[in-house]
């Protein structure tokens, strides 16, 4: 996950979901409009009415998705530009999907935790809800590192009292044909599965 790719932000509205991640969210190796954040934006364009019986129906809040993900991004890099991203997009919800590149580079888990904690606190200070998206490392990184890496996301979510999706790639993990030739990045056809996996954890934050 080293090639740089910035997904162009969509037009900002009053209710913004900021996707802040790495190549898994930036659409690496596929068209940006095929990525799961773009598909999320399309799904949320539907303005479903709420209300029942004799209660007048009123429009549900409209949400727009701004994708500030960059391929190759580490938590340190994300932390360095996060305050500016919050100021630019003013999100009400942040989907924080960083850490995979820290793991692939074998960076200290405590360093990753510190960076993620700083970003979570900044988001909360700006009155944004946070969905933390976790990752897992392959077993060749050793049992201690892989365990500590996975548990870091769980611990952070509990400490900071935020929503957690433990493993982004869970629906397709182990399916070789679900990934591009590098074995790291999901193909376009799998992006909807990632969105379906993320969506139930996101919906409670949109109310």
Catalytic residues: 23, 182, 185
Check residue 207 and give its pLDDT: 86
Check residue 61 and give its pLDDT: 72
**Is 2 domain-assigned?**
no
DSSP state of 179: B
Check residue 14 and give its pLDDT: 74
**Is 9 domain-assigned?**
no
**Is 53 domain-assigned?**
no
Check residue 128 and give its pLDDT: 98
**Is 197 domain-assigned?**
yes
Check residue 59 and give its pLDDT: 52
**Is 52 domain-assigned?**
no
Q: What gap in Å lies between CA 122 and CA 117, rounded to an integer?
A: 9
What is the CB neighbour count within 10 angstroms for residue 154? 13
Three-state DSSP class for 43? Answer: helix
> What are the pLDDT tens digits along the chain (207 aa)?
433 334 434 444 579 999 999 999 999 999 999 999 999 999 998 744 333 343 444 456 789 999 999 999 999 999 999 999 999 999 999 999 999 999 999 999 999 999 999 999 999 999 999 999 999 999 999 999 999 999 999 999 999 999 999 999 999 999 999 999 999 999 999 999 999 999 999 999 998
Three-state DSSP class for 50? Answer: strand
Domain count, the chain: 1
The two tokens of residue 159 are 């400490």
- H helix runs in the chain, sequence order: 23-26, 36-43, 75-89, 100-104, 109-125, 143-160, 191-202
Q: What gap in Å lies between CA 132 and CA 3, rounded to an integer?
A: 23
DSSP state of 57: P
| Host domain of residue 171 | 16-47+60-206
Rounded to the nearest integer, the mean pLDDT of the chain is 90
CATH number of the domain enclosing 202: 3.40.50.1110
- pLDDT tens per residue, range 71-118: 999 999 999 999 999 999 999 999 999 999 999 999 999 999 999 999
Check residue 24 and give its pLDDT: 98
Cβ(132)–Cβ(163) below 8 Å: yes
């Amino acid at each position: 996950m080293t090639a740089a790719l910035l997904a162009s932000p969509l037009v900002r509205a009053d209710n913004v979901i900021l996707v802040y991640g790495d190549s898994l969210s930036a659409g690496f190796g596929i068209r940006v409009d095929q990525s799961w954040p773009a598909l999320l934006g399309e799904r949320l364009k539907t303005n479903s009415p709420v209300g029942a019986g004799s209660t007048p129906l009123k429009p549900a809040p409209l949400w727009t998705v701004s994708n500030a993900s960059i391929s190759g991004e580490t938590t340190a890099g994300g932390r360095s530009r996060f305050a500016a991203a919050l100021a630019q997009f003013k999100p009400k919800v942040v989907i924080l999907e960083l850490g995979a590149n820290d793991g692939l580079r074998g960076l200290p888990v405590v360093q990753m935790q510190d960076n993620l904690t700083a970003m979570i606190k900044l988001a909360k200070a700006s009155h944004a809800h946070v969905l933390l998206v976790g990752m897992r490392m392959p077993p060749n990184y050793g049992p201690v590192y892989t365990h500590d890496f996975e548990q870091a996301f769980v611990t952070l979510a509990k400490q900071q009292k935020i929503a957690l999706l433990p493993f982004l790639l869970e629906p397709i993990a182990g399916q070789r044909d679900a990934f591009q030739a590098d074995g790291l990045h999901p193909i376009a056809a799998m992006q909807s599965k990632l969105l379906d996996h993320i969506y139930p954890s996101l919906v409670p934050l949109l109310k």
